[in-house]
Structure 1
Amino acid sequence: MENQKVSDDDGFHIPSKVLAADGQTVDTSGKVWELHDRSESTSKVRLNINSALKHDFDVTSERSERLIILYLYERLRSVKAWTVHGDLYAFGRFVEWWSENKKCPLEWCGVVEPDWRAFLNYCIKERSGNGNDFARLQSFYRWGTYQKNFSDFDRDIASSISVIRAPGNSKGKAVRSLDTERGPLDDTEVKLINDSLSTKKGTLKQRAIVRLLLELGLRPLALTIIRGEHLSRYDVPVAEEGEAGTSIFYQLEVPKLKGRQAKISTWYKRPLTTDLGKILEKVSRSDDNLLLHWLSEYKSPRGKIADTLEAWVREANITSPRTGQLLHLFPLRFRRTLATDMAVQGASKAQIAQALGHNDLQNVDVYMDASAVILNRMEEDDAFDFQDEVVDLFMGKVGDPDDEDVSEQRIPGAAPQVGGLKGTTGHIGACQKQSPCSLSPPLSCYTCSKFVAFEDAPHSDIADELEAWIQNSPDGVDRRVPQQHVTTLKAIRQLLQQLGDK
């Protein structure tokens, strides 16, 4: 490997190229390093050393800067690109703090224990209450002291600051607290998103990204890896009312990313809704190209994904009822929503971990905690007070069974999901959907736009029995399950109100 001697008195050399942890060769000869955030991805990470270290202000000595560069160089060999990016900008914030408080160029040999403690206090007070920047530089100081044995670093100082425990980000805080800006979306917000998608707000490309994140909770990195060949379509023959037909099903292979280097450990198939499958067929160019091929046109596809979400919310004009502001959407928020919703619905830790692509269960507890908060709120609130609904939950329409435009696909009132609802007999309505339903009729019908509710059907009886079942569910039933049907009950009550008004 070609070496570049950076200074006669530095005492070390920084090679002009480095083999990164995932196999990429990165040019490190200049002050701006560029690499893909992983070898298979089109998304790039840019390490602008001059910009991060405020080079124009001349606040670091040449040697102290070279030590930082050498550390970043060696980090690239063992950790992923975004981790090194975080390291670089932690240095940048330390340099800025040093310049403002010390009024002299930074020399690592001049940074003593009180300086480190003062920087940590600054991080806690000014940097979102955590000491992540301090912890990153703490690792750097250990590296310079014990691994490299550079004279710039003092072993006594290294020992004294090694016992300082910097508070990190409160892991899962946004999820556990159901933060209105960064936590999981609530049911009303998800419905507003779905309504905007169903009415085709925004461009086709925007809807493709929103639907993928909403349905699968993928990391943005995965969207920059999945190719056209990973989308599968299945045309399945079906017979309905004695007539032959075809149903279309879609699946998408998604990567499971493992470890600090985000290596692909395996690919696994996830089912897609028909709407999403059709959208992906339209936007995909070929099996060889990225599925979302236009992302490869940008230096930062992950940044483009974030920008796309913000632009789509503005275009769809989605206002969060909880904040009164435009809905704050970013990719991780969809993952948090998916996992929290699964927990509320009674999914196991293993099922949630599998859906998120986790290798273990250690990161799943936060969603179980959040689901407990949601369910407690449901129990504390008057679950059957329907006067203050923000959006309509009954999505169908009212019709007459004798109307010519009403389908012959009748829906019986019995519901085995909740003990049968034995008091209800006959048909409650009709389904206008052309393909077989993958949901759970009849209860799922009341929140479906394809449902035609018959005026004289026993909707009131169903509501009464469902409410009684929710309140007095039998022993052995997971308490999350009854709460899932609260939304259905609200929808039925709204239908009854419509019928009464009519």
Structure 2
Amino acid sequence: MNTLHSVAEAQKKSTVSITVSLRGYEFDTASNKWELDRNNSINLRFLDEFSDEISGSIRDTLIYFAETCSSKHTKNICENLKLYLRHSQEKSFTEFGFVLLKDFLGEKEEYKLSVIRGFLRQMKYLGNADSIHEGVFELINSWKLSGNEKGLPVLSFDPHIGPFSDLEFEAISNVAANSYAQKRLTTERFLTILLFRATGRRPEQLASLKIKDFSYSKKHSSNTMYVVEVPRIKQRKGKFRQSFRPFGLAGYLAQVTEKHIEEQTRKLEGDLGRSITVEELGELPLFLSNTNIKEMQKVPSKDFKELCETELFHMTSASMASRLVSAVNSLGVVSERTGERLHVNAYRFRYTLGTRAAREGAGKITIATLLDQSDAQNAWVYIANPAEYAIEISRIMNQPLSRYASAFAGKVVGDEQEANTHLDGAARIPCREVDSDVGSCGTSSFCQDYAPIACYTCPKFMPWENAPHHLVLKFLMEERERLKKTSATMPVITANDRSILAVIQVITLCEERRQR
């Protein structure tokens, strides 16, 4: 069982190397294994690859981040420090090392340098950077680094990782309801699907729910409604269940939730061999696993409520996501876009909620609030890809035999350097409409076709993995919409549909390469 700060007061250790993460988990700063919360632990063995002169300073700075920042951010810092070691081949932070890493990452991934730069700035502020030459700071501070690319699954309406189509979304709901009515789906699984579908919340948020978060209330409406106070995450220096945002639920969802709470409580009381008090019930996680219950059985009754107030008995976000996938997979829903069993992940429900809101005319602020985002900077993707584009893309994908059409016949490559291994000095393919290069040409023959639109259906085309193909797709969809409004004939409107299909296929292949 994990030892939380709130419980460890009676078991204080004399070792001065023991400290506490932001989420209340004790860890030994001298150890190479730090458990920072129920979802995240880090291994610091990679620090041995740094020189003795600086490894201790890096560890000291990581302690600061573990104590004051989210566990996920601390883990992300470690991953990027490993990236620096791997591609710089340096044992300290040097100008040469950073130049090598920046060259390797390229513009699309240089946002990772921002993480390391922020870490080094904090090292300096804490007085831990005496061994780092000032020229390193002058170099990294002079760089204007691009942010990470947002919204690719939404913009592409990807059939595997993007928003669900209307048919797919409704099929999940209808088949789940029928399966539940016929007792082929448990209340717990049915509720899991319903909550992800209704709220679009992240797995960590639903995994952090407690029974006391649900109530009938008039606080947010003149009428009594069933409300869940959803814990917020991704808040700066946010602790476990520190802030909440209310979300109203439909009546049928209220009934399923109450039934699940009743069933789960009855099972837990049987496993514990005693009744659960009202105070204990409110602090229980909404979703328990057999592992949770086994841990609960080891806890003395006098400590039970105190431990329930922590995150100790909540399942991990990965387990919550896995439970959703398992529940939907059991339905056997087939996608009309791929002809295969529906590919499911938690974020597809989130993307669908935002996309459907955009279709109803919601603006960025409304969508950001609906998706529980702290600001509207990432909500643009739903507005930039209007719902009618998604519908049109869906129609293109649903044309007879379109899912079997090999519209893209070329070869995706990592970058220009890889393209040159296939053809030395391969010409770059620009897309002036989006002011960017998107790939390389695999032939030296003279060509008069309109680049890059014709290139996507050419077998000689080598699109780059991290090129902005989603912007090419957006341009093509905007052009298609413009032609529709000018009363152009259908053959003119659909002239680029094969190219659109090819771009979608390229986007999918690029995403698959990045996930390997």
TM-score range, shorter chain: 0.5 to 0.7
Partner SS, residue 49 of structure 2: coil
Q: Is 1:362 the counterpart of 2:352 in the alignment? A: no
State the Cα deviation string for residues 148-169 of structure 1 (Å, max 9, x = none): 2533201012201222233332
3-state DSSP of counterpart to 1:95: helix
Q: Which residue is 1:5 aligned to? A: none
1:4 corresponds to which residue?
A: none
Give 1:179's aligned residue. 158
Partner of 1:161 in structure 2? 140
Q: Aligned partners of 2:315, 2:214: CA distance in 1, in Å?
A: 24
Q: Distance in 2 between matches of 1:382 and 1:68?
A: 53
Kept after mapping to 1: 8 A contact 2:157/2:390: no
Q: How does 1:93-172 map to 2 (within 5 A)?
A: 93-98=83-88, 102=89, 106-108=90-92, 111-124=93-106, 129-145=108-124, 147-148=126-127, 150-172=129-151
Whole-angstrom distance in 2 between the partners of 1:21 and 1:231: 26
Q: Partner of 1:225 in structure 2?
A: 208
1:175 and 1:183 in contact (8 A); partners too: yes
In the comparison of the two structures, how many residue pairs are matched?
340
Partner of 1:47: 42
- What is residue 388 of structure 2 aligned with on the other side? 375
Q: Within 5 A, what are the aligned runs for 1:368-447?
A: 368-370=383-385, 372=386, 374-376=387-389, 378=391
* Alignment deviations for residues 290-336 of structure 1 (CA, whole Å, 9 cap, x no partner): 11133872786101012223323433233433344443322232222
* Structure 2 residue matching 1:251: 3-state secondary structure: strand
Quick check: 2:165–2:394 contact (8 Å CA) kept in 1? no
Pairwise CA distance, 1:233 = 5.6
Q: Tell me the distance in 2 between the aligned counterparts of 1:208 and 1:299.
A: 17
Which range moved further: 88-97 or 316-325?
316-325
Question: How much does 1:207 deviate?
Answer: 2.6
1:283 equivalent to 2:256? Answer no
CA contact (8 A) 1:217 1:338 kept: yes
- Does structure 2 retain, via aligned residues, the 8 Å contact 1:124–1:131? yes
Match for 1:361: what amino acid? A
* Offset of residue 345 of structure 1: 1.2
Please, which of 234, 241, 252 is the counterpart of residue 228 of structure 2? 252
Deviation for aligned residue 1:357: 2.4
Distance 1:31 1:319 in 2: 46
**Corresponding residue to 1:318 among 322, 333, 350:** 333
Aligned match of 2:199: 216
Structure-2 change in CA distance of 1:174 and 1:16 (3 Å): same
- 1:215 Cα deviation from its structure 2 partner: 0.5
Q: Unmatched 5+ residue regions in structure 2?
A: 1-14, 218-223, 266-280, 293-312, 404-484, 486-516
Counterpart for residue 35 of structure 2: 34
Q: Which of 34, 55, 58 is the matching residue for 1:65?
A: 55
Whole-Å separation in 2 of the counterparts to 1:299 and 1:253: 16
- What residue identity is the alignment partner of 2:17? S
Give me the whole-angstrom Cα distance separating, in 1, the residues matched to 2:138 and 2:246: 49
- Aligned AA for 2:329? R
Residue matched to 2:67: 77
1:183 is paired with a residue whose SS is coil
Whose relative contact order is higher, 1 or 2, with alpha carbons under 8 Å and at least 6 apart? 2
Which deviates more, 214-223 or 296-305?
A: 296-305
What is the deviation of 1:15? 6.0
Structure 1 residue runs without a partner (length 5+):
1-13, 37-42, 235-247, 391-470, 472-502
Does the residue aligned with 1:327 lie in a helix, a strand or coil? Answer: coil
Whether the 8 Å contact between 2:226 and 2:250 is mirrored in structure 1 is yes
Q: Distance in 2 between matches of 1:290 and 1:389?
A: 46
Task: Give 2:316's aligned residue.
Answer: 301
Q: Secondary structure at the match of 2:215?
A: strand
What is residue 407 of structure 1 aligned with on the other side? none
CA distance in 2, matches of 1:203, 1:97: 49
Identity of aligned residues (%): 23
Q: Secondary structure at 2:230's aligned position in 1?
A: strand
Instruction: Return the alpha-carbon distance in structure 1 between the equivalents of residues 36 and 207 of structure 2.
Output: 14
Given the superposition, is the C-alpha separation of residues 61 and 300 from structure 1 closer, same or farther in structure 2, using an over 3 Å criterion? farther
SS at match of 2:42: strand
SS class of match (1:206): helix
User: Is residue 2:188 matched to residue 1:205?
Assistant: yes
What is the DSSP-based 3-state SS (H/G/I as helix, E as strand, rest coil) of the residue aligned with 2:36? strand
- Deviation of 1:214 after TM superposition, in Å, equals 0.7
Q: Which amino acid aligns with 1:259?
A: Q
What is the distance in 1 between the residues matched to 2:111 and 2:290? 31
| Cα distance change of structure 1 residues 136 and 354 upon mapping to structure 2, 3 Å threshold | closer
Query: Equivalent residue of 1:198, what SS?
Result: helix
1:428-467 alignment, distance < 5 Å:
none
Taking structure 1 as reference, are residues 318 and 95 closer, same or farther at Cα in structure 2, changes over 3 Å only? farther
Contact 1:145 1:155 in 2 (8 A): no
Q: TM-score, normalised by structure 2?
A: 0.57
2:136 aligned partner, one-letter code: I
Partners of 1:295 and 1:304 within 8 A in 2: no
More strand by share: 1
* SS of match in other structure, 2:109: coil
Q: What displacement does 1:92 show?
A: 2.3
Provide TM-score, normalisation by structure 1: 0.59
In 2 relative to 1, CA 146–287 (structure 1 residues): closer, same or farther, beyond 3 Å?
closer
Relative to structure 1, the CA distance from residue 260 to residue 131 in structure 2 (aligned partners, 3 Å threshold; closer, same or farther) is same
